[in-house]
Structure 1
Amino acid sequence: MAAITALPPPPPIDDGCALFLDVDGTLLEFAPRPDEVEVPQQLREALAALHARLQGAVALVSGRSIAVLDILLAPPRLPASGLHGLERRHGRRIHHAPRAPEALDRVRSEAVRVAARHPGAVVEDKGAALALHWRAAPQAGGELQAFARAALPRLPGYRLQPGNDVIELRPAVRRGVRADKGAAILAFMQEPPFAGRRPVFAGDDITDEAGFAAVNSRGGISVLVGPPRESAAHFALAGTAEVHAWIGASA
């Protein structure tokens, strides 16, 4: 990946596009705790309008679970991939995340005790995955990352997923197949109404790089949200407000 200093804004979303959107940091501003994010009503309306305009070819591709995405953003109830590609829903078809091993329960209990030493640190239970957040407790970052690295050998088949002020312990594959946002996007692109369209993906974090690579491989539009950084994205928007304006204008 080449270093990025400045990227152009993305073109408008036209009727031939399939739109994929990360959530935290892209559609929604970060909050001190994951459950404290705010969802503007205008965003719901824009997503519903785009979903109708693109004949259903709009999907959420997030590190959150699909159940949480529905609570945050429904209506509309959009196609979605959750837990960084470990689960996916399209219409009535649901691909579930792997069942969490018993060892994860013990790791979760230990993580809660570590986080309790740092007011503001959060342990987020995602079922098959465990996320350790320190956005509201910057001093906890080092210890939480060290804890996650030390716990990883106790969870065969798991990997570390670093992000913005968070690190996750999550399964690396689902049913023997690589699980990340790029794989989820490519799976959607094999199905109507996404198939045959030009993929567009907007995301802000290093967890979104697999998604950028996937849409680039299909001649699509990859959009980095936030400050310039090294990325595979070809376009950029400065923040969530610019994302809302972009999809609002397209809707």
Structure 2
Amino acid sequence: MNDSSSPQPEPLRRRDGPGRPLRPSRGWALFLDVDGTLLHLADTPEAVEVGEHLRGVLRALQPLLGGAVALISGRRIEDLDRLFAPLKLPAAGLHGLEHRGADGRTRMLGDPGMLDSLRRPLAEFAAGHEGIMLEDKGRALALHYRRAPELAAPCRRLVARLMARGGRGLVVIDGKMVLEIKPRLADKGEAVRSFLAEPPFAGRTPVFIGDDVTDEDAFLAVNALDGYSVRVGDYPNSKARYRLADVDAVVAWLESLPRLLAGGDRP
């Protein structure tokens, strides 16, 4: 993201037709995916950076929404804290396996040992194929092939074979140039519901913005709660009801919220 210029925000409209732009409310609880939503995707997870402009946008939204702003990501919470430092938001990491509420308390689901039988063969495959990277997140494993897209099929075959042998209790998420394996204990939809059961999120209308297949569970959860689900980019089969074009459009829209909320509804 380029902090030196901000595109004009596009109105948030429904994906199924023009309709009227969505009117922001101070009664919202705002949930944000990170990679591909707030940050442009990069060749490796370590290659992304958070600019001060984005930190400032999120910092400005916190008091306007009563602190009900949270990150929901496939990254670990400790990685989110490193990226967004010194800003430290409520967060769900590893697609909901990690949860830190506004009170700062963190709880974790899943045993890293559930993935032990997969670690070595995945690491050996990555070491033997240029452009393939294994990201070991402890409670999840991510096989990245963004730098070698021609190896997508071999990656999928390997993961399918390993899951058939030792994947009990695990699930594979086929994301954007990545195959992620994690315990079948939580997803982003459950992460949203968990936040909405605790202050300051409880009693608010959920808004979730995401860009990948991993975000569809959150879209479904938000829709069921009469909230607002927002897909970044084009994906015809998405369950999201609203759309923003890309990362720059997301940041520009978020940047416009303080002005729109200045005299807006309160919870």
Going from structure 1 to structure 2, the CA distance change for 1:247 and 1:137 (only over 3 Å counts) comes to same
Query: Is 1:218 aligned to residue 225 of structure 2?
Result: yes
Going from structure 1 to structure 2, the CA distance change for 1:9 and 1:249 (only over 3 Å counts) comes to farther
1:158 is matched with which residue?
170
Write out aligned runs for 1:77-226 (5 A): 77-90=88-101, 91-101=103-113, 104-152=115-163, 153-173=165-185, 179-226=186-233
- Rounded to whole Å, the distance in 1 between the matches of 2:209 and 2:86 is 20
- Rounded to whole Å, the distance in 1 between the matches of 2:89 and 2:229 is 20
1:246 is matched with which residue?
253
Structure 1 position 105, deviation (Å) = 3.5
Is the deviation greater in 33-42 or in 123-132? 33-42
1:20 and 1:201 in contact (8 A); partners too: yes
- Rounded to whole Å, the distance in 1 between the matches of 2:177 and 2:44 is 11
- Rounded to whole Å, the distance in 2 between the matches of 1:214 and 1:230 is 16
- Structure 1 residue runs of 5 or longer lacking an equivalent are 174-178
Secondary structure of the 2:112 match is coil
Secondary structure of the 1:159 match is strand
1:176 is matched with which residue?
none
Going from structure 1 to structure 2, the CA distance change for 1:156 and 1:8 (only over 3 Å counts) comes to farther
- Rounded to whole Å, the distance in 1 between the matches of 2:205 and 2:24 is 10
* TM-score calculated relative to the size of structure 1: 0.91
Structure 1 position 148, deviation (Å) = 1.1
Structure 1 position 128, deviation (Å) = 1.0
- Rounded to whole Å, the distance in 2 between the matches of 1:7 and 1:111 is 46
1:27 and 1:240 in contact (8 A); partners too: yes
1:69 is matched with which residue?
80
Is the deviation greater in 195-204 or in 35-44? 35-44
Two-structure CA RMSD over aligned residues (Å): 1.8
Structure 1 position 7, deviation (Å) = 6.9
Structure 1 position 39, deviation (Å) = 1.5
Structure 1 position 84, deviation (Å) = 0.8
- Rounded to whole Å, the distance in 2 between the matches of 1:33 and 1:9 is 38
- Structure 2 residue runs of 5 or longer lacking an equivalent are 1-14, 259-267
* TM-score calculated relative to the size of structure 2: 0.86
- Rounded to whole Å, the distance in 2 between the matches of 1:94 and 1:132 is 26
1:46 and 1:247 in contact (8 A); partners too: yes
The C-alpha deviation readout for 1:158-213, integer Å capped at 9, x for no partner, is: 1111111111110001xxxxx10001101111111111111000000111001001
Of residues 24, 28, 48, the one that matches 1:17 is 28
1:49 is matched with which residue?
60
The one-letter amino acid of 1:50's match is L
1:5 and 1:228 in contact (8 A); partners too: no
Secondary structure of the 1:194 match is coil
Going from structure 1 to structure 2, the CA distance change for 1:8 and 1:64 (only over 3 Å counts) comes to farther
- Rounded to whole Å, the distance in 2 between the matches of 1:8 and 1:161 is 33
Secondary structure of the 1:55 match is coil
Secondary structure of the 1:27 match is coil
- Rounded to whole Å, the distance in 1 between the matches of 2:66 and 2:86 is 16
The one-letter amino acid of 1:35's match is E
Secondary structure of the 1:169 match is strand
Structure 1 position 9, deviation (Å) = 8.9
Is the deviation greater in 160-169 or in 10-19? 10-19
1:221 and 1:234 in contact (8 A); partners too: yes
Length, aligned pairs only: 242
- Rounded to whole Å, the distance in 2 between the matches of 1:244 and 1:166 is 24
